[in-house]
Structure 1
């Protein structure tokens, strides 16, 4: 019985063409050999199992080949391999330097391969510097390391550096397929991709896993056997979990997670795999990014089918929630509850990426008709007593009614019955948007306003009686613009009465309104318009809300019913306060520029 040779040794590449996934480096080395342009100190760096030592051996063999050697000649006398992990002292390097001086007996070059060179001590590096910079013509040094950052810069500057990259899943899977065919093993494509993913870019690890799985399953290498032997979660689990999330099926989703835990997997592995699954679904949604999906053809079709059921916003929300759980997992005291809570959050996401809200679902495709009453009702200016005509059924006429009856001008009236009661209508804020236009309409149509005393309901006998009594007690108000006062006044008189009103409300306790009205001095413009300028919109809204009392006061004092208040906002007028020493100094210098002379004279600092 022949001894078993592991695949990593049995299938070690013998030429540069056999090296997997390092085409750029192998082409460079081959051209350097062909053109006699090879450096005497090379540094191969990169992750484990990507072919650093293999390329070093192939290079050592090829530079000594002249065509006359035997087929199995390996030039063992000319190749010296040194493990720097165990030979890292100054004495070991000195022994190596002594050997370098001796020329080769067979072949042209002596090649020194120093593996894990970053393990050399500081003194060993220093002892090696001179020989590495100026070696004999027959000597070539090849240094290999997985941690280039640990090598001192003086060594790096003396070497030609080659950075080996990780082997892609596709390249590793293709090489594993080639080995399986040579060994007569029927391997599923998905199984080889799982092995390549588990190897994480290292071809040597992939070959070791391959040997282990073949020992378990024999000549038939299936995806199920690979997942069972490697103890990895199959993507079928994540497909099922995603379907349950899309169906918002929380109970079965929690049962699936419990089943996963029973198989020996921890919650962190499950949630990180679910996040990777969401990522794979996202790259399937665009044809240009499908190449980023490192799975077999059959699995790619499954990912395409499920990606059609999901939206980008859903996947982004799912990735964010799963990644948040991944970050919190190690610090959580109840890790299982954390993962279960994450799964419940994922199952509560709608297809549009928003969390489900029972209220939003209930109001879906429905609208609520709600418009503020202030949008429809404007407080009308209060007319003087001499222009009011009150007609009350079954009541004694008042003196106002008698005086209004003497008016000989005919009046056409239009009845309007507002739905708000009298008390509420008196509390309605004045908008002052187009009061002059409203006054003109009142003058033209002689609008008759029936103000109810109270709101009544028509759902009972008592309310019907109250409604009948309400009809009998309607009050008619007629506004005649021709008899409204319109006396002229000066800006001084306006400011005087303005200040009196501010003082009166300040005494009543309305400090904020008084402060807002004192912000600017009122200015009188054409058509009896009063203009004030405020620094922000909030102060403007406060004054507009309370301006009815102000306007009634000014109209009565100035005997002019056509006064209007116009408020503008100019944020540049806001008072700037000095906080820093520099700002305080600028304020003082504006008031008294001589302060600069004082500061210069006494050499003062701020």
Structure 2
């Protein structure tokens, strides 16, 4: 049995065309390479797990490639590409600013910058989590960043752009990476599942994509986790069990009880949810999101904002048809009010139960 490699590493993009969800950025970088308009410093910023370091590595690999393809992808065959793939390239240096954040570390880096590359045109310095550099380190880095040798290119990556000095920002080309959309994440997970010979239900992959919250690396880590639990078939029921996610069905049944003004059923369902170990506040947040999703289903123009599988989307449309816009607005407001006041309540369970009772009788108070 071969050594297991996590999916985030096994399927890490090796060329621009395999990067997911960052089309405008990869096109811009490829055009810059083709036109030989390379800046001396780049800043890649955005949420975690969206491809900042990956794009930096591909960019570094491509600009040192001896025989890039017509569409500016690395060939993978030349000595420079082979050295990069085998982890023995001396032209690409990665520095973790979280653990190398002192003035002395930056001085060591600036000393290295002066040495020209042995093979290839450029020496590329990828500095990850650059916002972790100390103020002194930033200041020591300024001069080198403004006037580096012709062979040096800096790629800075950060999740917290607002922490970087304006004097650093003004010396860089800034690229803002997008969060991964649920649709893009599901599509990528589908391709990986097919390569691994794993069958799946679409709703199961949607749950993984939602849980990842826009980070592809997180999605792949969760995917590995649920595969270890489910085996070669990912079912919706098994995935929500493993990830401790509340089934959509509870929200649909609760909304049905609200519309029927059946407060007994609503309270029983809430008790069942608590018995399964779910947090009451997280439940209320989920309920508020459910009402929001019903609201966007009321109009065909906003239905595209619903990020769920086809079968669950149909349930949303059916239930939305039975709810008025006014009711959904009141329900969202009541759910949000409950969430805001949850922490300050001396009896959190009763606080949520009162909100559920209110949801059952929205509109009745006005009639009376």
TM above 0.5: yes
Q: Is 1:329 aligned with 2:338?
A: no
Instruction: Quote how far apart the aligned CAs of 1:356 are.
Output: 4.6
User: 2 CA distance for matches of 1:186 and 1:290?
Assistant: 28
SS at the partner of 1:330?
Answer: coil
Among candidates 129, 143, 146, match of residue 133 of structure 1: 146
Structure 2 partner of 1:45:
45
Question: Matches of residues 71-220 of structure 1 in structure 2 within 5 Å?
Answer: 72-74=82-84, 76-220=89-233
**Cα deviations by residue, 1:345-380 (Å, 9 ceiling, x for unpaired):** 00012xxxx2356x75xxxxxxxxxxxxxxxxxxxx
1:311 counterpart residue number: 324
**Alpha-carbon offset, residue 78 of structure 1:** 0.6
Counterpart position of 2:25: 25
Take 2:278 and 2:350, find their aligned partners in 1: how far apart are those partners? 15
DSSP-derived class of the 1:127 partner: helix
Structure 2: distance between partners of 1:231 and 1:99: 49
Q: Distance in 2 between matches of 1:178 and 1:23?
A: 18
Larger Rg: 1
Within-5 A mapping of 1:163-562 = 163-349=176-362, 354-356=363-365, 360=368
Distance 2:357 2:83 in 1: 65
Moved over 6 A (4+): none
TM-score, normalised with respect to structure 2: 0.95
1:233 and 1:38 map into 2 onto residues whose CA distance is 49
Show CA shifts across 1:112-163 (max 9, x none): 0001111111111111111100000100000001111111111111111111
Cross-structure match for 2:36: 36
Q: For each residue in 1:51-97, what CA deviation from the matched residue of structure 2 results, as whole angstroms up to 9, or x when unmatched? A: 00000000000000122715644162110000111111111111111
SS of 2:302's equivalent?
helix
State how far apart, in whole Å, the 2-side matches of 1:99 and 1:263 are. 57
Could you tell me which runs of 5 or more consecutive residues in structure 2 were left unpaired when the two chains were aligned. 68-76
SS in 1 for 2:125: strand
Listed one character per residue, the Cα deviations across residues 539-563 of structure 1 (whole Å, up to 9, x for unaligned) are: xxxxxxxxxxxxxxxxxxxxxxxxx
Segments of structure 1 that go 5 or more residues without pairing to the other structure are 361-606
Deviation string, structure 1 residues 153-190 (Cα, Å, up to 9, x no partner) = 11111111111111111111110111001101111111
Cα distance in 1 for partners of 2:109, 2:14 equals 27
In the superposition, the TM-score normalised over structure 1's length comes to 0.58
How far did residue 11 of structure 1 move?
A: 0.4
* Distance across 2 between alignment mates of 1:180 and 1:336: 41
In structure 2, C-alpha distance between the alignment counterparts of 1:314 and 1:125, rounded to whole Å: 54
SS at match of 1:61: helix
Question: Counterparts of 1:288 and 1:72 in 2: how far apart (Å)?
Answer: 49
Structure 1, 296-305 or 65-74: larger mean CA deviation: 65-74
Query: 2:38 and 2:125 mapped to 1: Cα distance?
Result: 15
- Distance in 2, matches of 1:148 and 1:155, equals 11
1:288 partner SS: coil
SS in structure 2 of the partner of residue 287 of structure 1: coil
Aligned equivalents of 2:83, 2:302: Cα separation in 1: 47
State the distance in 2 between where 1:355 and 1:89 align.
65
Q: Distance in 2 between matches of 1:171 and 1:10?
A: 18
* Alignment: residue pair count: 355
**Quick one: distance in 1 between partners of 2:164 and 2:351?**
43
Q: Which residue of 1 aligns with 2:78?
A: 69
